[in-house]
Amino acid sequence: MMIRMLINKEISGVLHSFRFQILIVLTMLVFLIAGLFHVNSYHIRHEGDNLDLNKQALEIQEHATSLNRLATLKQHMVRKAKAGDVISLNGEKGLPDLIFYNAFVLGESGYKSEHRSHLFANNDLSNYKLNQITQFDWAFIAGVILSFFILVLTYDAFSGEKQAGTLKLQCAFPVSRMSLFIAKYLAFLLIITSVFILGIILNLITIKLASGFQAEIPSPLQIGGIMITYMIYFSFFILLGLWFSSKAGEPATSLAYSLFTWLILVFFLPSAMAMLAEKIHPIPSSFEHNQQSSATSGQVFDNAPPKAQSYGPPSSFGGKVYPHMELRKKAIDEMTTVMNEFNIKGFNDMYSQVKLGADLGKISPFVIIRSISERIAGNGLEDFYQDFNRVVIHRSMLLEFIEERDREDPESFHFVNSWHPETYSSAPVEADEIPIIEDADPKLGSALKDSVLDVGILIFFNLLVLVGAWSGFLRYDVR
Amino acid sequence: MIGEIILKEIKLKIFDLRFIISTLIVLLLVIFSVIVLSEKYQKEVDDYQIALQNDKEKMEAMVVYSFLEPNLRYPPNPLSIFNTGISDRINKTVAIKYNSVPRQNPEIISENPLLKIYSHFDLITVFRLVLSLLAIILIYDSFSGEKEAGTLKLMLSNGVKRSHILVAKLTSNTIILIIPVIFSFLISLVIITGIYGVAFPGIQWIRIGLIILYTIVFLSFFIALGLLVSSMTVNSSVSLILLTSLWVMLCVIQPNLGSYIASTVINMPSNETLETAYKENWNEFSKKQQEILEQINRKIPSGIQNGNMGTYGDEYKFVVFDGSTPLLMKYLYRVLEIEPLRHEYAEKEWDIYRQMYLPSLEKQHQVQNYIDYLSPAALFQSVTASIAQTDVTHYDQFLNSARTYRSTLMHYLKNDKKLFSENAHEYFTNLSKEEIENSQYEARQRANTTHGYFNTPPLDLSGLPVFSFQQDFLSGIFTRVFINFFLLLVYIVTLSMLAAARMKKYDVR
Q: What's the pLDDT tens digit per position in A50-98?
A: 888 888 889 899 888 888 888 888 888 888 888 889 999 888 888 888 8
User: What does the DSSP assignment read for A125-142?
Assistant: ---TTSPP-----HHHII
CA distance A476 to A170: 13
Which of B245, B364, B381 faces A23 most closely, judged by CB atoms? B245
What pLDDT score does A212 carry?
86
Q: Which helix (DSSP H) or strand (DSSP E) does residue B321 occupy?
A: strand B314-323
Q: What is the mean pLDDT of residues B477-483?
A: 73
Determine the residue of chain A that is closest to B236 in CA distance: A252
In angstroms, the CA A236 to CA B200 distance is 45
Q: How far, in Å, CA of A133 to CA of A89, rounded?
A: 11
Nearest-CA distance A145 → chain B (Å): 8
Cβ atoms within 10 A of the Cβ of B285, count? 19
Q: Chain A: residue nearest B21 by CA?
A: A257
**Mapped to the 3 state alphabet, what secondary structure does B388-404 carry?**
HCCCHHHHHHHHHHHHH
**Closest Cα in chain A, distance from residue B220 (Å):** 19
Amino acid letter at A32? Answer: L
Within 8 A by CB and 6+ apart from A10, the residues are A183, A184, A187, A188
Could you give the CA distance from residue B290 to residue A152 in angstroms, rounded to a whole number?
72
Give the one of A136, A148, A274 whose C-beta lies nearest to B248's C-beta. A148
Q: How many residue contacts between A and B have a Cβ separation below 8 Å? A: 218
Element (H, E) at A77: strand A75-78
Question: pLDDT tens digit string along B416-441?
Answer: 989 898 889 989 988 888 888 888 88
Among candidate residues B207, B232, B134, the one with its CA nearest the CA of residue B387? B207
Q: Which residues in A lie closer than 8 A to residue B249 (C-beta atoms)?
A: 26
Chain A residues with CB-CB distance to B50 below 8 A: 285, 287
Tally Cβ neighbours within 10 Å of residue A175. Answer: 16
Tell me how close the Cα of A409 comes to any Cα of chain B, in angstroms: 32
Q: How far apart are CA B248 and CA B26, in angstroms?
A: 18
* Nearest chain A alpha carbon to B274: A125
HSE toward the beta carbon, residue B440, CA cutoff 13 A: 11
Instruction: Name the residue of chain A whose CA is nearest to B381's CA.
Output: A131
CA distance A26 to A338: 56
Alpha carbons B363 and B268: distance in angstroms, whole number: 10
B21 and A148 in contact by Cβ < 8 A? Answer: no
**Mean per-residue pLDDT, B145-166:** 72
- Candidates A59, A128, A158: best to mutate against B (most CBs of B within 10 A) is A128
Quote the minimal CA–CA distance from A244 to chain B in Å: 13
Contact A283 B241 (CB under 8 A): no
CA–CA min distance A383, chain B (Å): 12
Interface contact B118-A94, CB threshold 8 A: yes
The verdict on a CB contact (< 8 Å) between A26 and B108 is no
The answer to whether the Cβ–Cβ distance between B110 and A256 falls below 8 Å is: no
Q: What are phi and psi of B93, to 5 degrees?
A: -115, 125
Closest CA to B329 of B442, B426, B450, B437: B437
- 8 A C-beta contact, residue B102 and residue A221: no
Percent of chain B as helix, strand, coil, to the nearest 5 = 70, 5, 25
Contacts of residue B54 in chain A, CB cutoff 8 Å?
A: 287
Beta-bridge partner residues of A75 = A101
Would you call B412 helix, strand, or coil by DSSP? Answer: helix
Residues of A in contact with B30 (CB under 8 A): none
**Residue among A134, A276, A381 minimizing CB distance to B119:** A134
Would you state the pLDDT for residue A5? 84
pTM, to two decimals: 0.89
Distance in Å, alpha carbon of B171 to nearest chain A alpha carbon: 22
Residue A57 and residue A353 in contact, taking contact as beta carbons nearer than 8 Å: no
Instruction: Write the CB contacts of B9 (distance below 8 Å, at least 6 apart in sequence).
Output: B168, B169, B172, B173, B176
Beta bridge partners of A99: A77, A120
Using one digit for the tens of pLDDT, what is the confidence trace for B287-337?
Answer: 999 999 999 988 888 888 888 887 777 788 888 888 888 889 999 999 999
pLDDT digits (tens, 9 = 90+) for B78-114: 999 999 888 878 888 888 999 999 988 766 667 788 8
CB atoms near residue A213 (< 10 Å): 8
CB atoms within 10 A of CB A321: 14
Chain B environment of A26 (Cβ under 8 Å):
245, 248-249
Element (H, E) at A71: helix A67-72
Q: Which residue of B has its CA nearest to A19?
A: B241
Q: Is the alpha carbon torsion for B233, B235, B239, B242 positive or negative?
A: negative
Mutate to test the interface with B, among A90, A131, A155, A383 (most CBs of B within 10 A): A131
In angstroms, the CA B39 to CA A275 distance is: 9
Helices in B300-334 by DSSP H: which ranges?
325-333
Question: Of A259, A227, A159, A112, whose CA–CA distance to A469 is shortest?
Answer: A159
Q: Which mean pLDDT values do the consecutive 10-residue runs of chain A (479 residues) have? A: 81 86 92 91 85 88 89 87 89 86 79 58 77 88 94 81 65 73 91 95 94 87 92 96 82 83 90 85 83 85 81 56 79 88 90 92 94 91 91 92 89 84 86 81 75 93 93 73
Share of chain B above pLDDT 70, in %: 94
Minimal Cα distance from A48: which residue of B?
B270
Residue with the larger pLDDT of the pair B5 and B499: B499
- In whole angstroms, give the CA distance from residue B70 to residue B319: 18
> Is the separation of the CB atoms in B58 and B186 below 8 Å?
no
Measure CB to CB from residue B238 to each of A18, A40, A268 and give the nearest one.
A18
Cα separation of A180 and A474, whole Å?
Answer: 11
Across the interface, whether the CB atoms of B244 and A152 are under 8 A apart is answered: yes
d(CA B135, CA B126): 14
Query: Given this model, what pLDDT does residue A478 score?
Result: 57
Are B401 and B467 within 8 A, CB to CB?
A: yes
Q: What is the mean pLDDT of chain B?
A: 86
ipTM value, please give it: 0.86
Interchain CB distance below 8 Å, B116 and A131: no
Q: Which residues of A touch B365 (CB under 8 A)?
A: 127, 129-130
> Which residue in chain B has the smallest CA separation from A286?
B111
Contact B121 A272 (CB under 8 A): yes
Nearest CB among B89, B108, B313 relative to A132 is that of B89
Backbone angles phi, psi at A99, to 5 degrees: -120, 125
| Dihedral over alpha carbons A31, A32, A38, A40 (to 10 degrees) | -170
Closest B-chain CA to A253: B18
Q: For residue B302, what is the DSSP state?
A: P
Among chain A residues, the shortest Cα distance to B33 is held by A272
Q: Contact A3/A184 with Cβ under 8 angstroms?
A: no
The CA distance from A92 to B319, in Å, is 44
Q: If you average pLDDT over residues B386-406, what whole number do you get?
A: 90
Of A198, A199, A191, the C-alpha closest to A231 is A191
Cβ within 8 Å, pair A22-B241: yes
In whole angstroms, give the CA distance from residue B300 to residue B320: 16
Binning chain A into helix, strand and coil, the percentages to the nearest 5 are 70, 0, 25
